[in-house]
Amino acid sequence: MVTTGSLTYGGGQAAAADYRGAAERHAGSQIALHEGVDSSLLPEAYTTAAGVLGHDVSGWQGDVDWADATKAGAKFVYIKATEGTGFKSDHFTQQYNGSYAAGMIRGAYHFARPDISGGAEQARYFLRNGGGWSPDGRTLPGALDVEYNPYGDTCYGKGPAAMVAWIKDFSATYAAQTGRDPVIYTSTSWWKKCTGNSAEFGDTNPLWLARYATQIGELPAGWPTQTIWQFSDSGRLPGDQNYFNGSPDRLAALAEG
């Protein structure tokens, strides 16, 4: 579903909420566009990196064959639920429920649009539309995808202090309703540019790092390590390829809270 319309946000000016391309947009789509993909990435990355293999999907993949995904080695998945305050993925229910039925650990993510509305408002929209968490041992805390603006200014017209405040509002609202701090998905380059390399989230929010290469490289400030590494935008699993940084028991612990 794609919607547009008028809204009042940030000083009372009316703006158009543009969601063109939202159905296909996925975690890292703008990172790959702006930062590129390391052409030296080889299939050996699947066996040389330590961790639990997983992936993330969006409407771009359509309905997923979850039996095939599990046979290919997928142990966990993040699924795009929402974007801004006007887009819900038409494929979310099949992807979210289907992965669970296939025995996977799964979670939902929200593509941030700080240009459209406040962080708290977007957290509430995400929670109303599939982004919640339950202590069933199979549901990961929701993730906030903050990356390059698909419609214009890289940082959505916000300076570092304003961007940090926006992310804090989203995180605090999500935590207040679920008891869990959301995972933050980003790249080091975007984080440096748009938050001034803020170190304020490393003690609370797990990091899901996007870098399409054979090495993780530099992390954003405040995080001593990544929880998940999105290392490729394609591979043997549907969607983007990820590694959880730890054992299956630690992945289960993240889900259990």
Q: Which DSSP letter does residue 120 get?
A: H
The H-assigned helical ranges of 129-198 are: 160-178, 188-195
CA distances from 91 to 43, 56, 58, 60, 61 (A): 29, 13, 7, 9, 9
Residue whose pair of structure tokens reads 């890292």 in the numeric block: 28
Nearest to 186 by CA among 171, 172, 176: 171
Distance CA(246)–CA(251), nearest Å, equals 7
State how far the Cα of 42 lies from the Cα of 134, in Å rounded to an integer.
Answer: 37
Q: Scan for tokens 């304003």, then name that residue.
A: 162
Helices 119-128, 160-178: axis angle to 10 degrees equals 40
State CA 156 to chain mean position distance.
17
Give, to the nearest 10 degrees, the angle between helix 160-178 and helix 188-195.
Answer: 110
Give CA–CA dist 67/88, Å, rounded.
Answer: 25
User: Annotated catalytic sites, by residue?
Assistant: 56, 145, 147
Instruction: Return the bridge partners of 80, or none.
Output: 109
